Amino acid sequence: METHGQPDAIPARFATLRQHLAAWLEAVQGQGLSERTQESYEERLLPFVNWCEARGVMTAPQVSLPLLESYQRWLRSHRKADGQPYTPGSQRDRLSVLRQWFRWLLQRHHILYNPVDSLVLPKEEKRLPAQVMNEEETHTVLAATDINTPTGLRNRAILEVLWSTGIRRMEVANLLLSEVDFGRGVVLVRQGKGRKDRVVPIGEQALHWLSRWLSVRPELTRRGDSGHLFITRKGRGLAKGTLTWIAADSIRKQAQLTKPGACHLFRHSMATQMLENGADTRHIQAILGHEKLETTQIYTRVAIGHLKQVHEQTHPAERQSKQATPDDKQAESDKPDSPKPV
């Protein structure tokens, strides 16, 4: 990480924000957090340090509530490289990590109070998945994949695994050959999000395509074999970006769907489709590896098909409409119009 140095060699009262940040990042390394989480902390906090330095604020005691409120306004108005603003959720994430860092500074007596605790953070977003595929669309994507080459069979197997298991892109990239149990019909996901292992079911259809892929996989191991379930032409594990390209290409180029998204679209779609078909949210929670049930319950707001069916079956007006005979409906349509009020 760029900010890492030896800040402990400098007396605390002389340490800069940048040096304190390096010390905190070193400290969180020992907390069992994933490397990606540590990198995300740095990505969220470095802009704040740069922003402060540009305004002559070099040390932690100089950071005040008015300064933080000014930074919060900057976050709201700032545009990223793609021209898009930070979402309220992204703003909240950055300020939440900033609060963690300053609590650490307070615990170590580098500051007398934590001004970030007094900052009003943006409300937590409960956003629905932007898009999901229905079952027909999912089958269209799978069927559109070219399976006439080893890499084509690999890509079909990847998509089948994504849909069947709902595992994340990172988890697919990290899967090893030994972590698929064909006999039990399960996949062992090691060190998933939150560095937790879990076992998830995988269906017969996905196992069928995995078997077909494994029959040609040796053709890609002539120059080495990393042991990953899905590999490149050189026998190495697939990069996350490659998985994104495979999924996105299959959805928009091969199947010609206009839906945005890639690997995560299969995860969203799988959860929504299972809920539509009557799965319990707690079972979906276990499969997806969600720590909180509230995260899984977002999908219940997307699974409108089952809700629509329940509405039609139970709402009095809908039931009366379905119970009416064709003769009743014809008689109703033959009634003269009511006189219009003058």
Q: Which fold has domain 135-304?
A: hpI Integrase; Chain A (1.10.443)
Q: Give the tokens for residue 42.
A: 């740095």
**Residue 85 DSSP label:** B
Provide φ and ψ at 339, rounded to 5°: -60, 140
Instruction: Match 């050959």 to its residue by tokens.
Output: 177
pLDDT at 83: 81
User: CB of 129 within 8 A of CB of 302?
Assistant: yes
Provide the annotated active-site residues.
168, 193, 264, 267, 290, 299
pLDDT at 38: 83
Residue range(s) in the chain whose domain bears CATH number 1.10.443.10: 135-304
Q: How far apart are CA 271 and CA 101, in angstroms?
A: 35
pLDDT at 260: 86
pLDDT at 9: 46
Q: How far apart are CA 342 and CA 86, in angstroms?
A: 57
pLDDT at 7: 42
pLDDT at 256: 93
Residues of the chain with pLDDT under 50: 1-10, 329, 338-342
pLDDT at 341: 43
Mean of the per-residue pLDDT values of the chain: 83
* Short-list 45, 24, 44, 25, CA closest to 35: 25
Residue range(s) in the chain whose domain bears CATH number 1.10.150.130: 7-118
Is pTM beyond 0.95 here? no
186-189 β-sheet, strand order:
180-181, 186-189, 198-201
pLDDT at 340: 44
Q: Which CATH number fits domain 7-118: 3.40.30.10, 1.10.150.130, 3.40.605.10, 3.10.20.440?
A: 1.10.150.130
pLDDT at 303: 55
